[in-house]
Amino acid sequence: MTRQLTPVDHLLSGAQGALRTVFAPAPAPGRPSPGVAESTHIEDDDDRRHVAGLMRINHAGEVAAQGLYQGQAATAELDDVRAAMEQAADEENDHLAWCEERLAELGSRPSVLNPLWYAGAYAIGAGAGLIGDRWSLGFVAETERQVVRHIDEHLGKLPESDARSRAILEQMKEDEQAHGNAALAAGGAELPAPVRGLMGAVSKLMTRGAYWF
């Protein structure tokens, strides 16, 4: 007999997920890093710091993605939607691990503001889930759409010699597009323009903060 999880159970699970995501090393990825077989030659220190800043942004974005999906899973109405959110969070773990590994290779570190990014995204995800599954899925689709735009910008800013970071970001872009398309196919609603604009403004704030800190 399967026990029905209570709101307290979901709260405790969310707290455990937050501690694991923000303070523990990323779980071992299910797929090897796409950049493992690629070469990288970054001799200029300014270029290295710039690439580290870009990868720190992407790592912070994956921390926020964990918060968003786990918050949505905690408040989802339907079991299949909750399962889809939890599966998406698991798949995003690969990205988290790849970015963390690349930051270490660059002699850098994740954003010190990651607890803030996670908490904010969790609150948004939980709120979206309370409004309803269609809107929750719509948040996923719009989030992934904006993430893909950021990745495209970063691909244009990488040094030509950094094939390793490029391979990681290209695979992440492909995965994010798939997650967004899946959310729309599952019945995600198109968000109103003011909400999309607010999400974009918050994303820019995180981008600027994570690049430096």
Q: Could you tell me if residue 208 is inside a domain?
A: yes
Per-residue pLDDT of the chain (213 residues; tens, 9 = 90+): 555 556 556 555 555 656 566 766 778 888 999 998 888 888 899 999 999 999 999 999 999 988 888 888 888 777 777 777 777 777 788 999 999 999 999 999 999 999 999 998 888 888 888 888 888 889 889 999 999 999 999 999 999 899 999 999 999 999 999 989 988 988 899 999 998 998 899 888 999 999 999
Q: Could you tell me if residue 98 is inside a domain?
A: yes
Q: Could you tell me if residue 189 is inside a domain?
A: yes
CATH number of the structural domain spanning residue 94: 1.20.1260.10
Compute the half-sphere exposure of residue 140: CA atoms within 13 Å on the CB side of its CA.
38
d(CA 53, CA 33): 19
Q: Could you tell me if residue 35 is inside a domain?
A: no
Q: Could you tell me if residue 59 is inside a domain?
A: yes
Within 10 angstroms of residue 185's Cβ, the number of other Cβ atoms is 10
Q: Which structural domain, as residue segments, surrounds residue 153?
A: 43-212
Split into its structural domains, the chain has a count of 1
Instruction: Tell me the CA distances in angstroms from 158 to 18, 41, 49, 64, 105, one per residue in order.
Output: 31, 12, 11, 23, 16
Q: Could you tell me if residue 166 is inside a domain?
A: yes
Single-letter amino acid, residue 212: W
The torsion of the CA quartet 180, 85, 204, 149, rounded to 10 degrees, works out to -20
Q: Could you tell me if residue 137 is inside a domain?
A: yes
Q: Could you tell me if residue 3 is inside a domain?
A: no
